[in-house]
């Protein structure tokens, strides 16, 4: 038998009541994932909303649900199809885990998501907060969530010092989240506290005057809302440099060569451009690796793209080729016509480079 969570404290009661009555008047109730709240839909929306704003997620979620209306359809789709529907949302490990999880739920659970936080957390890519959201919002049972918005509200409400990425701060925030989550209306409560974080208790300039729990908020009373939660300690990111090779056949600049990235690592499973390290001679690589003869190479403006752990300085090269038929040697390499570019799931900076190239033809 599961343990009882917490005794109802006066603060919990007050906090939940204030938050829920604010939610009844101001909360968001008509986002696409609020309608027909199945575990599948709540799960997909929660994964998309990690590190991504609601307004960005809405069209992605709608396209995703139109193409993969059930977990079985998602499980049966090709990697390519899933990545294509994720391309542009970033943090691509999320999409790979989503697909792996769909396969597991479809094959091992007959398409039915487990109904406890613990069992959900055993699935690929489902963390404690996502599991809590599925149980609370789709199954209507009491469960606790702690996403980025909730962390900010709670860190300010009780002035919990330190960066929320550290284990000690996370532990304290989970303890407080447990304490404040009520036993009833948990689906609404979890939505309410996320909405409060994104609509009122914003990262900068929180609208404390509109906040339903302002009279109990420690950071507001101390005039220190700007200092909570604590900032991530800054460290300069290491930088890597690569050439992305935009290769096109002589006299046929409407066709370019695309190469699929390996399934893991940066941009894993997405379509990109052939690449080479700056220490290598691009024409040698193109002939040795791809079997084409280089006619000319032109260097164009670079891009600095930031990943979580490093920055990538991309130096694009436009490469005119004398193509050799054996050059496209396997299914991870494809000639892509300008009219078909939209069919390929590509990371944002690559799509930007491809667009810039085709625009230059006009």
Contact footprint for ligand SF4 (CB under 6 A): 153, 156-157, 200-201, 206, 208, 211, 213-214, 217, 219-220, 225
Q: Where are the beta strands (DSSP E) in the chain?
A: 239-249, 255-260, 271-272, 275-276, 293-299, 303-306, 311-322, 333-337
CB of 22 to ligand SF4, least distance (A): 10
239 is catalytic: no
Cα angle at 83 between 80 and 86, to 5 degrees?
155
Determine if the peptide bond prior to 229 is cis (ω within 30°).
Answer: yes
| Coil, strand or helix at 360 | helix
Give the Cα separation of 201 and 194 in Å (integer).
10
Nearer to ligand SF4, 211 or 244 (CB): 211
Give the Cα separation of 322 and 295 in Å (integer).
6
Nearer to ligand SF4, 15 or 40 (CB): 15
Question: How does strand 239-249 pair with strand 311-322?
Answer: parallel
CB of 347 to ligand SF4, least distance (A): 35
Give the Cα separation of 103 and 166 in Å (integer).
32
Is 13 in contact with 20 (CB distance < 8 Å)? no
Rounded-to-10 torsion of CA 143, 145, 150, 151: 120
Tell me which of 46, 172, 179, 259 is the catalytic residue.
Answer: 46
Q: What are the two backbone dihedrals, phi and then psi, of residue 334, each rounded to the nearest 5 degrees?
A: -145, 140
Q: What are the two backbone dihedrals, phi and then psi, of residue 6, each rounded to the nearest 5 degrees?
A: -145, 155
Nearer to ligand SF4, 210 or 337 (CB): 210
Nearer to ligand SF4, 6 or 215 (CB): 215
CB of 217 to ligand SF4, least distance (A): 3
CB of 45 to ligand SF4, least distance (A): 24
Nearer to ligand SF4, 154 or 256 (CB): 154
CB of 128 to ligand SF4, least distance (A): 22
Catalytic residues: 46
């Amino acid at each position: 038998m599961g343990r009882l969570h917490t005794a109802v404290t006066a603060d919990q009661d007050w906090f939940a009541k204030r938050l829920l009555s604010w939610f009844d008047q101001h909360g968001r109730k008509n986002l696409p994932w609020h309608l027909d709240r199945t575990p599948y839909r709540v799960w997909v929306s929660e994964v998309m909303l990690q590190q991504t704003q609601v307004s960005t997620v809405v069209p992605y979620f709608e396209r995703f649900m139109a193409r993969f209306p059930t977990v079985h359809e998602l499980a049966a789709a090709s990697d390519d199809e899933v990545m294509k529907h994720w391309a542009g949302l970033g943090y691509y490990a999320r999409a790979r885990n989503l697909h792996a999880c769909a396969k597991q739920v479809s094959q091992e659970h007959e398409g039915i998501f487990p109904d406890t936080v613990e069992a959900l957390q055993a699935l690929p890519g489902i963390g404690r907060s996502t599991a809590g959201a599925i149980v609370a919002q789709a199954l209507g049972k009491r469960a606790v969530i702690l996403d980025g918005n909730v962390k900010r509200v709670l860190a300010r409400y009780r002035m919990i010092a330190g960066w929320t990425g550290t284990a000690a701060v996370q532990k304290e925030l989970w303890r407080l989240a447990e304490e404040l989550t009520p036993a009833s209306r948990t689906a609404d409560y979890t939505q309410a506290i996320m909405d409060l974080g994104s609509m009122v208790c914003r990262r900068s300039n929180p609208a404390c005057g509109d906040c339903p729990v302002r009279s109990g908020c420690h950071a507001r009373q101390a005039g220190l809302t700007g200092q909570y939660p604590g900032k991530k300690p800054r460290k300069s990111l290491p930088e890597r440099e690569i050439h992305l090779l935009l290769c096109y056949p002589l006299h046929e600049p409407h066709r370019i060569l695309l190469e699929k990235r390996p399934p893991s690592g940066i941009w894993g499973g997405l379509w990109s451009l052939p690449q080479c390290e700056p220490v290598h001679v691009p024409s040698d690589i193109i002939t040795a690796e791809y079997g084409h003869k280089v006619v000319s190479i032109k260097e164009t403006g670079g891009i600095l793209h930031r990943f979580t752990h490093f920055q990538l300085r991309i130096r694009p090269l436009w490469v005119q080729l004398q193509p050799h038929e054996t050059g496209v040697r396997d299914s991870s390499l494809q000639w892509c016509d300008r009219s078909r570019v939209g069919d390929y799931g590509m990371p944002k900076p690559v799509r930007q480079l491809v667009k810039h190239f085709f625009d230059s033809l006009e």
